[in-house]
Structure 1
Amino acid sequence: MSITSLVNTSFDWHDHANALLKSLTTRYSDQYGLGTMSGSIYDTAWVSLVSKTVDGSTQWVFPHSFQHIYNAQSADGSWQGDGSIPDAIINTMACLLSLKSHESSWNGGVNDIAPRAAKAASYLVDALQGWDILSTERIAFEMIVPSLMEQLEKYGLTFDFPQKEILLKLSKKKLAMVNFEIVYKHHTTVLHSLEAFAGKIDFDRLTHHLRNGSLMASPSSTAAYLMYASKWDESAERYLNHVIDQCQSYGYGAVCNVWPTTVFEFSWSICNLFESGFDASRLDKECLDRIANILYDSLAAEKGIIGFAANVGPDSDDTAKALTALQFLQKPFSMDPLIKAFELPTHFQCFQFERNPSLSANCNILIALLRASNPAGYENQILKAATFITSEWWTTEGTVEDKWHLSRWYPAMLTSQGLVHLLYLHGQGLFPQISDDLLKVKIPTTLFTIIVRILQSQRPDGSWGEGGSREETAYAVLALANLSSLPYSELIREQIATSVSLARSYLTTSNAVDNLHIAPADYIWVGKIGYGVEHVCNSYIVSALNIAVPLYEPSTVSVGAPPIPVSKVESFTKFYGRLQMYKGFPKWRLVAWIVEGYLYLPELARVRLDVFDRDGMKKDPYFEYLPFSWTGPNGMEETYTSPQTIFDMIVISMVNFQVDEFFDLVVQKHGPGAIQSLKHAIGVICDDLEKGIVPKALPKAGTNGHSNGHSNGHSNGTNGTESEQKDSSYQDIHSRLSHFVNFVFTYPRIEYASPNDHGQLRREMRIYLLAHTQQCEDNVRLQAQEHFDPYLTPPSSYLKWVRGTASDHLSSQYAFAFIACLLGHSQNKAKGGVREDYFPTAEIKYIAQDCSGHLSVICRIFNDWGSMRRDREEKNLNATFFPEFEGRAKNKSDEQLKSELRAISDYERKTLQLSFDELLRVCQKTVGPAQGKRLHEVVRLFYNASEMYTEIYEFRDLSTWQA
């Protein structure tokens, strides 16, 4: 592999890597394993609740654990954990239960526990009001919190909060999925959270599941077993005492969320060091050999599949990492058991019986198979994992997350490592079966999307993460090192180098390598609470400081995407930089969004003539503007709309331009009489839609002898009578409109939209098409006048016209209904095919549609602004021809007319901003902070995509004039 580097890595980090290896091996115990996970207040609270009867007297078994939580209570009454609301709630509930349990017995009943408990309860009352249940990712929280609430009710403590019913419904659904007979017989993940099933499960039937004294390496689950089993278990008590001993650095009596984590710490650390280019010959061979033997023997003992530690039950994530580590350590183990145990038809599962797949697990499996001795032998599995991973990125609305991790940069890093290595090996001639769709569209777009998101999210101090996280910063650097190897990252490679340099400065100045104590900002792994792991964190940091950037020589990485036209990117960057909405953004961001847009163009070109053949039209000047009209706004406000939705809206935008061309061409070709044919066709088609009848599409080229589906008149080859020709013309119009409507209403990614959202799309489609005919009629009447200004027979006042026919004619309202169907489809499909409205209430629908209405008016105003000269030449109705403007009567200049249009648009913008503010308020009040913000962001994206055209029209007219 040829490696070059844009970023200086002259400092030698091998000593730090060897110190890490030494720590891993010296802290490992043959009997108990290894664990350096951060302390867990939640688990410590459960351990503090364990009591047993000695000589007829009940005694607390781990009093130091209670003393630890007693000392750790914050001034506001809470126990914070990673600083998030979910952790604070879960921790505080568990500690409050412990306080109430100790109140009468601690220190002989003479204590201040009652006021402490009251303060904790008061904190919970406030914190629960703002808890967004649906955005919470913690293991079994939907079972743990209701169980804690039930137990607190015994002490007279009840809690009501806005999303309580949502939580209880989730709990009921989850509980219904648990088959306790399976739990009694098999080693399932339920064993990790037994404290959530107090009163529901028979703990006496779980004894055989103990492994080295623990239940699935969980201190809280093991504590619950000791509390609720009828027979005391000495091995479980010894296990908890050992964990307390190992966690003394967090305070005596503290425990962690999981212990041990031997396989996890060994595997992740080794993979990180080797993937970042450390020289094996300069690493401690004794340590490497010991780790290799431990991992190999562990896999062999469990028949080739393993969990985060020995005997806790296998998962594909830890198995894949262990297999990859052994490949690096030149002690390979067969990949076959991994595939046999976890492969499914479309992806790999992490656990048996899991509810939803893990993106990171599939990434780690892809990475493992690519590192196999013979990766070509696993081509089918490699392409399956790669397809699943890219599909997740291609279709996910908002940030792409993983259920095992709180940081969005973790799946971004793993995706980058896996897919870039796949492209590298493809460049060496491997994996010939890879599809064009994956190679030329999905992978390039996915990877460049990740680049843009990472670069845009860096904090001013060089870090990533909400509070500045060392580990998250390392993820970003490792991802960028891989991604900068892509040929199409060339135009922003300098910015990547700057970003990496700033990140490394942050990592070194924050003493990230030498200060190994895990801080709350690094509690980014998902357990019952957020946690960090010392060795894993350290391995990521030292790897980020060592890796070459770019990791691969770009010429060795196979990319199916066509070359990016550098001169055009530079030209567009200058032009878009003139638009008001993009002023203040650094140049590299504009370049990145433009490059991202170009990655969509090949697929867009493929479907360019699927709806309208564009016969008789000049080259479409709008074509290369289309992608950026969505990638720019999406990047500008960091909306993170899925690439699939972005592409779909680019397609609809293109087709809507073509609809304008079609109506203009029909009237030009067939004369004003064609307008009635258009109206009739629209009526028939839309009436059928309301009856559930979708019009037929035109046959594809070659299927009936007609290249574009148009009728050729009569089979006898004669020209036919005038009446027959008229009928043929009508049939052509009807067929082409039917084809367009069929395209929209059979679009595969609106299938799961709700009946209401489909209905709104049908209504807006009729309004949109009829608005075109009205515009055509107005144009015909205008053309009959001696002078175009003023329009002598306006259908209404300018205000009513611009808010009605004029704005409906621009497709914004119908396109807004379409995007609601797209997003509703995506949301409903993820929920198993339910048919819920995307905007959930009448009030939200009303405000969202009002926002769309205002932006439609603004867009029409600037459309008229940009086409003023063309409209005069063609005598098309323009806003400035309305009597209100008195253009010719008062001999106003174009600048005067444009000034009046701008003043009206400013008024509409002020009204629109009020609507946006109200939309955010109502959405967050109705569906919660996170989901409400998302609904607001989607409407903002639609606005910004439209706003970009209003600003373009100030400089250029993108309409196509007929050939």
Structure 2
Amino acid sequence: MYERYLLLLHILTHKSGKIENGTPKYLKTGDDLVSAAKSLLDRAFKSHHSYYGLCSTSCQVYDTAWVAMIRKTTENVKHWLFPECFHYLLKTQAADGSWGALPTTQTAGILDTASAVLALLSHVRKPLQILDVSPDEIGPRIEHGVASLKRQLAVWKDVEETNHIGVELIVPALLSTLEKELGESSFEFPCKGILEKMYEEKLGNFDLKKVYGKPSSLLHSLEAFLGQIDFDRLSHHLYRGSMMASPSSTAAYLIGATKWDDEAEDYLRHIVRNGAGHGDGGISGTFPTTHFECSWILATLLQGGFTMKQIDSNGLRGLATILADALRDENGVIGFAPRTADVDDTAKALLALSLINQPVSPDIMIKVFEGKDHFTTFGSERDPSLTSNLHVLLCLLKQPNVSQYHPQILKTTLFTCRWWWGSDHCVKDKWNLSHLYPTMLLVEAFTEVLHLIDAGELSSLFDKSLKCKIGLSIFQAVLRIILTQDNDGSWRAYREQTCYAILALVQARHVCFFTHMVDRLQSCIDRGVSWLKSCRFHSQDLTWTSKTAYEVGFVAEAYKLAALQSASLEVPAATIGHSVTSAVPSSDLEKYMRLVRKTALFSPLDEWGLRASVIESSFFVPLLQAQRVEIYPRDNIKIDEDKYLSIIPFTWVGCNNRSRTFASNRWLYDMMYLSLLGYQTDEYMEAVAGPVFSDVSLLRLAIDKVIDNTRVNLAGTNGTVHNGNGHQHESPNIRQVEDTLTRFANSVLNHKDVLNSSSSDQDTLRREFRAFMHAHTTQIEDNSRFSKQASGDVFSSPEQSYFQWVNSTGGSHVACAYSFAFSNCLMSANLPQGKEAFPSATQKYLISSVMRHATNMCRMYNDFGSIARDNVERNVNSMHFPEFALCKGISQTIDDRKKRLSQIAMYEQGCLDRALEALERQSRDDAGDSAGSKDVRKIKIVKLFCEVTDLYDQLYVIKDLSSSMK
């Protein structure tokens, strides 16, 4: 598919022997870059048409197909209005029958293929004046196109995640029309039910009769309503010949209306002649994009290291005037084109004008688009946009009176942090297919936020937790860009996306968090720049989304110039962020890093990579410390200081970065907190709960009562009287222990995501949690009998064999199994949206096998590292079991026992590896052709969990991590 994509790009970029405008390869000096930037500004301004505006967006098959279907009657003779569009479709069909297939989105290929097949069907039924193409040629093309469409629908996985405008309305309408034209039964495909539900929900938000009144977003996708509305009643919505700047919607208007509209025809003719197709029949998917291009070009160049003095020109002033006039004429809010107001283009225009010292008040933008907890892109929308809110934030941070907009700055910062916190793998947005675009904006915005915090202007606006999350977000954004750079210096060989990455990394050079890795940072920038300069010709990067996907030529050129210019500037002193002290690792963490470097997992890692994970994990430590005594009191309890708190975040962060899993911070933090509770529970049960309940059977009953009574408490309390830190001052008693255990059980079993997970996953968690708590009571009994033995290091009264014990009480005593079940609940809630994480009986069995073997390993290696402490404290350890005492009648030393335990643990490792392989294979087989990113993600997260367990196992071998009982 990728090779076909490159061939398609070659076709699209080399029309009639011409190469589209782009930054010349020969640019070498700063003067060359300045000249090229001024040239871009001047060419963009001169391309602006006084009536139709400006547009350098690439051609899109989807809109071309709709324009190709327009018929007109002149002197009682019907003819195809734009035969060149039909010929364009013939030229761009791929060998497999498809149109527009992209590696970044399945939806675009489906839309392009379906619309192109419909256009060919229209032409083969009524060739009219097009006589040079035989029906015998078109027929096989249609057959191949339909076959390709069916194949694409069969494996369509991104329907729910799609960014494309109106897809839930357009695809059902297209398929329905194709069924009628082909005389076939309905198209059947795995996600059809999901699409139909999306269609019903979308249509439920609209009253189609209202389309005749005030303008609405439906006008952008009128092709979805052919045969459903009266197109003759829509003529008043035309603006300079277009329906909301959409060629396909305008084409649908001409097809559906009974009265011909010359203005709409003239608009389309202008696009055919002057759009990116340059007369060859290709149609831009959006036209015009005047305000989008003016604001993006100006802001990108000026944020990218060019100064006003360097690039001041007629072009710059002309584009600025267009924006200023538009804001004035449209009452303070504009869109990508006239009469399409949105917060995105408004904020970017305001930013651009601020950067050229012509600030315009954002007050109207705030009045129109500010919502309760974020800014909406339009008046109403299905879901919010991260990039829209980042554009608002960047705009507000550049206002001359920043303090006036503190509430909005706080709101957009909080929204961005929440979005980043909850994003699994790559951050996504609805207007750009690349995760690098919102990532770049986040780095730009949060660098400025940190700068203003350092200067004291925003310091009082954010609490410690939010400052931590701001620092964490920017650090992760930059580190993940570095970690995902390809060997050739690019990011997936995409030109514009490589520019996004370079611009983000250049910003990071200002931030003190990256001082330790400045050489690596600069190396990534240099290699990215080298790749950009080596591009043989202008290759398209279809990263912007509308109904399908497109590139904006002038904007792409601006990004390339900005990337080259910013990278060429002198490296500044990295001082930004110095007030965020959480970026400095604790001394405890530094000590543990010496141990981590000795582990098999991390010994191969470069020093900068390990150091980066250390710094990233340090942002989590204050967040974890804030919840340290939320469940368990620690004052006046005879246990050592909980130094493990400093290393817990690293175990998850380090493995997350090492494996490139990039699980969400939401999942990472929940697992960190659960790890903390695992240690604390072990300590509490041994130091407090056990002694309070002289009869351990009563403790077991109390645990069952607590677990059975767990439920969501809408009042937010658990029926206890709390002081400032949530604990009572009285000496520990049975009621206090029950209250404490209730808090713990509620924090696990009534966690928000657990309650949103499948009932099956919740049941598994409840079983494993009960086993975990019961195992502590059994361990207390075992320890009591062991401590009463007269002497010896062999447990003389076990009630089970070692195999039985480690597969039940011994394994359940460590927190691994219930933590694994908890993780599966989080996955169930967030990946399949509340459905079972592992739906088939086979998957359930295999994930249980994975859980069991990981748990057994955890117990074994824990015991391997803690034998000295357990001997002193008289805690039953694996190596205390009689099986380890003798071999062939010979008494075994500690080293002998460790060797045997290590052999058993290695066997468990092999079982775990085979179970993981079987689970991955089964998950793939069960999903079949419809296997999607969520199926891949769940296996990645399971593997990450196992890797973290493996790291703990390796650390236990080197050093016992638990706090000692005093």
Q: What TM-score results when the alignment is normalised by the length of structure 1? A: 0.91
Shift of 1:872: 2.7
The SS at the match of 1:52 is strand
- In the alignment, is the contact (CA less than 8 A) between 2:583 and 2:615 conserved in 1? no
Read off the aligned partner of 2:884 and give its amino acid letter: F
Q: Answer with 289-298 or 51-60: which moved more.
A: 51-60
CA distance in 2, matches of 1:563, 1:64: 60
- In the alignment, is the contact (CA less than 8 A) between 1:362 and 1:389 conserved in 2? yes
Q: 1:903 to 1:800 in 2, by over 3 A?
A: same
Shift of 1:253: 0.9
CA distance in 1, matches of 2:808, 2:554: 64
Shift of 1:737: 2.6
Q: Answer with 141-150 or 170-179: which moved more.
A: 170-179
CA distance in 2, matches of 1:491, 1:556: 14
Where does residue 963 of structure 2 map in the other structure?
960
Where does residue 647 of structure 1 map in the other structure?
669
The SS at the match of 1:58 is strand
Q: Do residues 533 (structure 1) and 568 (structure 2) align?
A: no
- In the alignment, is the contact (CA less than 8 A) between 1:482 and 1:551 conserved in 2? no
- In the alignment, is the contact (CA less than 8 A) between 1:144 and 1:196 conserved in 2? yes
Where does residue 900 of structure 2 map in the other structure?
900
- In the alignment, is the contact (CA less than 8 A) between 2:97 and 2:144 conserved in 1? yes
Where does residue 43 of structure 1 map in the other structure?
63
Where does residue 684 of structure 1 map in the other structure?
705
- In the alignment, is the contact (CA less than 8 A) between 2:465 and 2:622 conserved in 1? no
Please give the residue correspondences for 1:154-553 in structure 2 after superposition, counting only pairs within 5 Å: 154=180, 155-157=182-184, 158-247=186-275, 249=277, 252-311=280-339, 313-437=340-464, 439-465=466-492, 468-510=493-535, 515=537, 517-519=538-540, 522-547=541-566, 553=573
Read off the aligned partner of 2:504 and give its amino acid letter: A
Q: 1:550 to 1:190 in 2, by over 3 A?
A: farther
Where does residue 146 of structure 1 map in the other structure?
172
Please give the residue correspondences for 1:605-644 in structure 2 after superposition, counting only pairs within 5 Å: 605-614=625-634, 615-644=637-666
Shift of 1:879: 1.8
Q: Answer with 877-886 or 496-505: which moved more.
A: 877-886
Shift of 1:656: 1.0
Shift of 1:565: 3.7
The SS at the match of 1:30 is coil
CA distance in 1, matches of 2:713, 2:51: 69
Q: Do residues 949 (structure 1) and 948 (structure 2) align?
A: no
CA distance in 1, matches of 2:287, 2:82: 17
Q: Answer with 546-555 or 17-26: which moved more.
A: 546-555
Where does residue 780 of structure 1 map in the other structure?
784
- In the alignment, is the contact (CA less than 8 A) between 2:586 and 2:618 conserved in 1? no
Where does residue 53 of structure 1 map in the other structure?
73
- In the alignment, is the contact (CA less than 8 A) between 2:712 and 2:750 conserved in 1? no
Q: Do residues 663 (structure 1) and 690 (structure 2) align?
A: no
Read off the aligned partner of 1:501 and give its amino acid letter: D
- In the alignment, is the contact (CA less than 8 A) between 1:482 and 1:552 conserved in 2? no
CA distance in 1, matches of 2:662, 2:497: 19
Where does residue 4 of structure 1 map in the other structure?
none
Shift of 1:773: 1.0
CA distance in 2, matches of 1:527, 1:462: 29
Where does residue 116 of structure 1 map in the other structure?
141
Read off the aligned partner of 1:507 and give its amino acid letter: L
The SS at the match of 1:74 is coil
Where does residue 162 of structure 2 map in the other structure?
136
The SS at the match of 1:16 is helix
Q: Do residues 795 (structure 1) and 817 (structure 2) align?
A: no
Where does residue 717 of structure 1 map in the other structure?
none
- In the alignment, is the contact (CA less than 8 A) between 1:839 and 1:845 conserved in 2? yes
Where does residue 718 of structure 1 map in the other structure?
none
Q: Answer with 634-643 or 37-46: which moved more.
A: 634-643
Where does residue 29 of structure 1 map in the other structure?
49
The SS at the match of 1:951 is helix
Where does residue 719 of structure 1 map in the other structure?
none
Shift of 1:244: 0.8
Gaps of 5+ in 2: 1-27
CA distance in 2, matches of 1:437, 1:200: 55
CA distance in 1, matches of 2:571, 2:724: 49
Shift of 1:551: 7.7
Q: 1:140 to 1:357 in 2, by over 3 A?
A: same
Give CA deviations for 1:804-829 in whole Å, capped at 9, x if unaligned.
1111110122222333344455569x
CA distance in 1, matches of 2:56, 2:300: 17
Q: Answer with 398-407 or 189-198: which moved more.
A: 189-198
The SS at the match of 2:582 is coil
The SS at the match of 1:582 is coil
Shift of 1:786: 4.2
CA distance in 1, matches of 2:346, 2:455: 27
Give CA deviations for 1:491-541 in whole Å, capped at 9, x if unaligned.
222211111111111111225xxx4x452xx10111111111111111111
CA distance in 2, matches of 1:452, 1:248: 37
Shift of 1:607: 1.9
Q: Do residues 82 (structure 1) and 90 (structure 2) align?
A: no
Please give the residue correspondences for 1:839-858 in structure 2 after superposition, counting only pairs within 5 Å: 839-840=838-839, 843-858=842-857
Read off the aligned partner of 2:674 and give its amino acid letter: I
Q: 1:149 to 1:892 in 2, by over 3 A?
A: same
Read off the aligned partner of 2:722 and give its amino acid letter: K
Where does residue 882 of structure 1 map in the other structure?
881
- In the alignment, is the contact (CA less than 8 A) between 1:481 and 1:550 conserved in 2? no
Shift of 1:273: 0.9
Where does residue 723 of structure 1 map in the other structure?
none
- In the alignment, is the contact (CA less than 8 A) between 1:880 and 1:887 conserved in 2? no
CA distance in 1, matches of 2:851, 2:901: 19
Read off the aligned partner of 2:501 and give its amino acid letter: A
CA distance in 2, matches of 1:708, 1:43: 65
CA distance in 2, matches of 1:750, 1:110: 59
Q: 1:636 to 1:563 in 2, by over 3 A?
A: closer
Read off the aligned partner of 2:847 and give its amino acid letter: A
Shift of 1:783: 2.7
Give CA deviations for 1:553-593 in whole Å, capped at 9, x if unaligned.
43354643335148766654443232122343333222111
Gaps of 5+ in 1: 1-7, 713-727
Read off the aligned partner of 1:112 and give its amino acid letter: E
Shift of 1:315: 0.3
- In the alignment, is the contact (CA less than 8 A) between 2:469 and 2:619 conserved in 1? no
The SS at the match of 1:269 is helix
The SS at the match of 2:710 is helix
Q: 1:221 to 1:326 in 2, by over 3 A?
A: same
CA distance in 2, matches of 1:357, 1:702: 37
Give CA deviations for 1:461-496 in whole Å, capped at 9, x if unaligned.
11113xx11111111111122233222222222211
Q: 1:607 to 1:691 in 2, by over 3 A?
A: closer
Shift of 1:426: 2.7
Give CA deviations for 1:83-111 in whole Å, capped at 9, x if unaligned.
44322222111111111111144355654
CA distance in 1, matches of 2:762, 2:649: 26
Q: 1:81 to 1:630 in 2, by over 3 A?
A: same
Shift of 1:836: 4.7
Q: 1:920 to 1:929 in 2, by over 3 A?
A: farther
The SS at the match of 1:555 is coil
- In the alignment, is the contact (CA less than 8 A) between 1:689 and 1:762 conserved in 2? no
Shift of 1:864: 1.4
Q: 1:238 to 1:535 in 2, by over 3 A?
A: same
- In the alignment, is the contact (CA less than 8 A) between 1:440 and 1:561 conserved in 2? no
The SS at the match of 1:961 is coil
Q: Answer with 890-899 or 595-604: which moved more.
A: 890-899
Please give the residue correspondences for 1:856-935 in structure 2 after superposition, counting only pairs within 5 Å: 856-887=855-886, 889-924=889-924, 925-926=926-927, 928-935=931-938
Read off the aligned partner of 1:366 and give its amino acid letter: L
